[in-house]
Amino acid sequence: MTIEASSARGFLIPIGGAERKRKSPTILRKFVDVCGGTEARIAIIPTASKLDTTGPSYETVFERLGAARSRSVPFATRKDCHNEEWLDVLRDSTGIFITGGSQLRLSRTIGGTPAAHELRSLYRSGVHIAGTSAGASYMSEHMIAFGDAGASPVTHMVAMAPGIGLTSDFTIDQHFRERDRLGRLLTVLAYNPFIIGMGLDEDTAAFIGPHGILEVVGSGSCTLVDGSELEYASIGHQPGDPVSLLGVKLHILLPGSHFDIKSREATPALEGVDREVQEL
């Protein structure tokens, strides 16, 4: 299920992982501000993580940043995703934060459950949803499950799986520069040129507003690969065969840069455009 275009949608905020939590927590502070600042009510979904401390740790971070309430809803099993008390926490939230870990743990636990339905419904109704690392990848309809490092695309370099479908515009990868993931993002584009491949460096986020304007926030860069004008793509028959791509457009966006999803036009930070985040 994908999201219908509507100005009532919330912000979608994929984060490349390892976001700063204490010194200069620019991304998390902006997320709290978008969610209402001192009136923000944030639900945390730590399902992707194996650590019992992940949810409580983020509760502390968001409370320190001034949120009125932050509460972890630890969906550990599919049965948990039917828990009405925890679903009510989601329904009463102005923002939802999905932590890092394993995106496959997210998909096999939450996919197809009432919790997944609520996340999509709440996003459509204006609740803001952020996800870091695995939580960012899970936002896509077409999710990168795992893959190999390397700058050049090769056959079978990446495995795909269904995500939660909060966006059908992007396939999102994270820890991008740090883990050398350009090749696998380009391989995804060879499989499906319609989508935009997004690679987020650590401590870097894309604040995607309800009208389709993306703003980069953080300390790294956001790499976008656009296959809308792709002229040719090859996929080899054997794993490791090189992949040819002709006509791919690539953007490297620094903090403050923007991207218009509808027109697929990028704007550097110094030139500026209307900033949906700052309009709140």
Show pLDDT as tens, one digit a residue, over the chain (280 residues).
Answer: 333 344 589 999 999 999 999 999 999 999 999 999 999 999 999 999 999 999 999 999 999 999 999 999 999 999 999 999 999 999 999 999 999 999 999 999 999 999 999 999 999 999 999 999 999 999 999 999 999 999 999 999 999 999 999 999 999 999 999 999 999 999 999 999 999 999 999 999 999 999 999 999 999 999 999 999 999 999 888 999 999 999 999 999 999 999 999 999 999 997 544 444 444 4
Tell me whether residue 175 is one of the annotated catalytic residues.
yes
> Which residue shows structure tokens 């791919």?
248
Catalytic-role residue among 59, 70, 107, 175: 175
Contacts of 228 (CB under 8 A, 6+ apart): 193, 194, 249, 264
Domain range for residue 123? 12-273
Q: Is residue 191 part of a domain?
A: yes
Structural domains of the chain, count: 1
Q: Could you please report the per-residue DSSP string of 74-85?
A: ---STTGGG-HH
Q: Is residue 131 part of a domain?
A: yes
Catalytic-role residue among 19, 59, 141, 202: 202
Q: Is residue 46 part of a domain?
A: yes
Q: Is residue 61 part of a domain?
A: yes
Q: Is residue 177 part of a domain?
A: yes
Q: CATH number for the domain including 180?
A: 3.40.50.880
Q: Is residue 145 part of a domain?
A: yes
Catalytic-role residue among 72, 102, 133, 137: 133
Note if the pTM is more than 0.85: yes
Question: 215 exposed, middle or buried (CB, 10 Å; 0-12, 13-18, 19+)?
Answer: buried
Does residue 243 contact residue 155 with C-beta atoms inside 8 Å?
A: yes
